[in-house]
């Protein structure tokens, strides 16, 4: 779509302002609706697991999401380029018909906004990026048929349906297994958790800073930082965070958890899958194997040990991951604001620039007032509709606690960063859902509501064709009335 925007600005300069004023007004309104729909769907994903694990209430999640969405958009999101919005349609097809291209942007906004609203009302998390690609495809099919459509981009989207959740789920499972063996299965899990907490913060902070500084915002001149410089900055920030946790945060967390546990009845463990438990209970700080089941083969015995159907987790240890899960969720909101806000306001940015400047070039950064307008729309949608998708991702699909929530959110963030740097098509929504399912299966084989997951997968598959159809319908109407 970036190509669409730049092409539009080159050929529309001869238009009289009054002839496109209505398109500007309609674009402003629809862009707000799109931002609100995005807030109710995409932003809710980032904090769904934190709400599902009980670390945050929905209201607190809304507050954190609003703050970090705004910070991400304003500080980093000025010059974001999304490869999934480029190259879907050959804009050379419209060089002699700028008004068609301008109206096409209105159709893109309308098609994407309508589908996101529908998906949010049905509590289904879908990809905003894929919605915009489908909407871009829809208006072009009406105006030029199959001419100029780059089918390799469409194929990449289809491949991402499998790539995003599979890769993210794999990374999250690896992280969960590390947490499980290094902390949760140890004889003294609480003490082990306290000891490795600075390490987790080091990795988390270093990775997050690397995402911001490596090939980052031109506004903040992060794009001038070499790779080795970004790595050094990230390692330094991670080390500072680890020292802060070691000498300041860790003692406070220890005292807080101890006070909370002393004020409650003595509960030494949490049984993860109570449906599988018979009449046995475990009391004491040290948790051993529940029973040694006879196995018909060593392979089966190994996998039953590696992925036990029945797990016992120390309640104090699980609470250790609460703060780092909140931190990871806040970063996910920051990253979403930095990378995806442009989806809602990119066409609007072109319309405003064309109407205001009446020039043939648009090389400046996105005006901050348009970014803030997009963020405001997203926050409105989050506060009014966010609870729908939050409950689907965070509570309805799988049982999540702070430990699994941390591995889910961090695994999805890692996947999104790695794939974006490699230029691979990826959806953050698909990543998060894939991580929830993968970790849920590993943690407990009966811990997933497969009917909800099936509905989510169906919504992924129909996102592109439905947004395409809606956009095509809008473009057909505009063609009849305005061309």
- Tally the domains of the chain: 1
Residue 254's pLDDT is 77
Q: What is the pLDDT of residues 162-187, one digit of tens each?
A: 888 899 999 999 999 999 888 888 88
- Which residue range is the domain that position 62 belongs to? 2-482
Q: Do 158 and 465 meet the contact criterion of CB atoms below 8 Å apart?
A: no
CA atoms in the 13 A half-sphere facing the CB of 40: 23
Average pLDDT over residues 72-76: 73
3-state secondary structure of 460: helix
Q: What is the pLDDT of residues 313-355, one digit of tens each?
A: 777 888 888 888 888 888 777 767 766 676 667 777 767 776 6
Rounded (5°) CA angle 212-320-328: 20
Q: What is the pLDDT of residues 14-47, one digit of tens each?
A: 556 677 788 889 988 999 999 898 888 877 677 8
Q: Please provide the average confidence, as pLDDT, over all residues in the chain.
A: 77
- How many Å apart are CA 434 and CA 194, to the nearest integer? 29
Q: Do 143 and 107 meet the contact criterion of CB atoms below 8 Å apart?
A: no
- How many Å apart are CA 239 and CA 284, to the nearest integer? 35
Residue 286: pLDDT band (50, 70, 90) is very low
Average pLDDT over residues 3-10: 42
State both tokens at 421. 């740097």
State both tokens at 265. 């009845």
Residue 282's pLDDT is 42
Q: What is the pLDDT of residues 211-242, one digit of tens each?
A: 778 877 666 777 788 989 999 999 999 999 99
Q: What is the DSSP string of 277-325?
A: --S----SS----S-----SSHHHHHHHHHS-SS-EE-HHHHHHTHHHH
Q: What is the pLDDT of residues 77-89, one digit of tens each?
A: 655 434 444 567 7
Residue 115 scores a pLDDT above 50: yes
């Amino acid at each position: 779509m970036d190509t669409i925007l730049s092409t539009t600005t080159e050929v529309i300069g001869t238009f009289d302002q009054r002839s496109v004023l209505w398109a500007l007004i309609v674009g402003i309104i629809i862009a707000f609706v799109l931002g609100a729909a995005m807030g109710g769907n995409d932003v809710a994903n980032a904090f769904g697991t934190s709400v599902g694990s009980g670390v945050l209430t929905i209201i607190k999640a809304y507050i954190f999401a609003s703050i970090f969405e705004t910070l991400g958009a304003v500080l980093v999101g000025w010059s974001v380029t999304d490869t999934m919005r480029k190259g879907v349609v050959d804009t050379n097809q419209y060089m002699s018909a700028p008004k068609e291209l301008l109206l096409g942007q209105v159709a893109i906004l309308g098609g994407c906004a309508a589908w996101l609203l529908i998906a949010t009302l049905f509590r289904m998390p879908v990809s905003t990026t894929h919605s915009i690609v489908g909407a871009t495809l829809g208006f072009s099919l009406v105006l030029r048929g199959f001419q100029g459509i780059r089918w390799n981009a469409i194929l990449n989207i289809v491949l991402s349906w499998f790539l995003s959740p599979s890769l993210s789920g794999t990374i999250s499972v690896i992280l969960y297994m590390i947490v499980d063996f290094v902390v949760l299965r140890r004889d003294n899990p609480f003490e082990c958790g306290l000891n490795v907490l600075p390490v987790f913060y080091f990795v988390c902070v270093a990775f997050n800073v690397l995402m911001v500084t490596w090939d980052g915002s031109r506004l903040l001149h992060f794009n001038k930082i070499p790779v080795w410089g970004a790595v050094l900055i990230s390692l330094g920030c991670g080390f500072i965070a680890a020292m802060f946790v070691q000498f300041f945060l860790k003692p406070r967390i220890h005292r807080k958890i101890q006070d909370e546990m002393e004020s409650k009845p003595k509960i030494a463990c949490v049984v993860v899958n109570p449906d599988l438990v018979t009449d046995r209970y475990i009391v004491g700080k040290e948790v051993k194997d529940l029973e040694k089941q006879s196995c018909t083969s060593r392979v089966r015995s190994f996998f039953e040990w590696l992925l036990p159907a029945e797990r016992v987790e120390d309640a104090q240890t699980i609470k250790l991951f609460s703060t780092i899960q909140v931190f990871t969720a806040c970063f996910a909101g920051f990253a979403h604001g930095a990378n995806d806000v442009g989806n809602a306001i990119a066409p609007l940015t072109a319309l405003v620039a064309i109407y205001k400047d009446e020039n043939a070039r648009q090389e400046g950064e996105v005006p901050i007032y348009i970014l803030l307008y997009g963020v405001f729309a997203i926050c409105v949608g989050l506060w009014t509709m966010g609870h729908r998708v939050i409950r689907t991702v965070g509570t309805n699909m799988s049982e999540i606690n702070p430990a699994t929530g941390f591995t889910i959110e961090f695994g999805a963030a890692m996947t999104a960063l790695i794939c974006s740097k490699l230029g691979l098509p990826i959806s953050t929504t698909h990543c998060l859902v894939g991580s929830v399912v993968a970790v849920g299966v590993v943690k407990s084989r009966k811990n997933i509501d497969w009917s909800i997951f099936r509905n989510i997968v169906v919504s992924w598959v129909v996102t592109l064709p439905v947004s395409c159809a809606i956009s095509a319908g809008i473009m057909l109407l505009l063609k009849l009335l305005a061309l």
